[in-house]
Amino acid sequence: MVSTIDRKSELIHALEDIGCRVTGPRVEIIQEISTLEGSFTAEDINTRLPALGRATIFRTIKLLQDTQKLCKTVLFDGTVRYSLDTGFHHHHLICVKCGDIKEMRSMELERVLRVAAKKIPDQVVGHSLEIYRICSNCS
């Protein structure tokens, strides 16, 4: 299990690595993201950090996506949510009630997807798979 502190410094270092300054607002946003267990929306951060400008929140989220540490997911209804990213290829378990997103990996699924890709005449460049569920909090 990764601690909040570890996640926080990992994200801060990731920003530094792409040449960003470590500023107060950015640290505050990273703090919130690290504390949140599941996925979140830009609005979630805005609500928790009302002193920050929305633009800063969107800009920081974008930077974190650039570091590959944050993953953007557009849900079936068009809602945009973000979740921490391990950096490995993975799929999402999405709760249809609260929108929470968890990562999921399965070698078996990947294998079948590779086989399926071979049957497609065009060049396959990737895939995304979302499994919809009702999470334990919501059921």
Partner DNA sequence: GTGCTTGCAAAGAATTTGCATAATT
Partner DNA sequence: AATTATGCAAATTCTTTGCAAGCAC
Q: Which stretch binds its own copies (CB under 8 A): 14-22, 51-59, 61-69, 117-125?
A: 117-125
Q: Which of residues 40-79 bind its own copies (CB under 8 A)?
A: 74-76, 78
Q: Minimal CA–CA distance to 82: which of 94, 70, 93?
A: 70
> With b meaning 16 or more CB within 10 Å and e meaning fewer, what string describes 98-133?
ebbbbeeeeeeeeeebeeeeeeeeeeeeeeeeeeeb
Shortest CB 55 distance to DNA, Å: 3
Shortest CB 65 distance to DNA, Å: 10
> Which partner from the list its own copies, DNA, none does 76 bind, CB cut-off 5 to 8 Å by kind?
its own copies
> Which partner from the list DNA, its own copies, none does 42 bind, CB cut-off 5 to 8 Å by kind?
DNA
Retrieve residue 135's tokens.
């999470």
A 10 A CB-CB count for 38 gives 15
- How far, in Å, CA of 43 to CA of 58, rounded? 10
Q: Does position 51 bind DNA by CB under 7 A?
A: yes
Is residue 49 a contact partner of residue 57, using CB atoms and an 8 Å limit? yes
Shortest CB 53 distance to its own copies, Å: 22
Residue 2 DSSP class: -
Contact positions toward its own copies, by CB under 8 A?
Answer: 74-76, 78, 80, 93, 95-96, 104, 106, 108-109, 112-113, 115-117, 120-136, 139
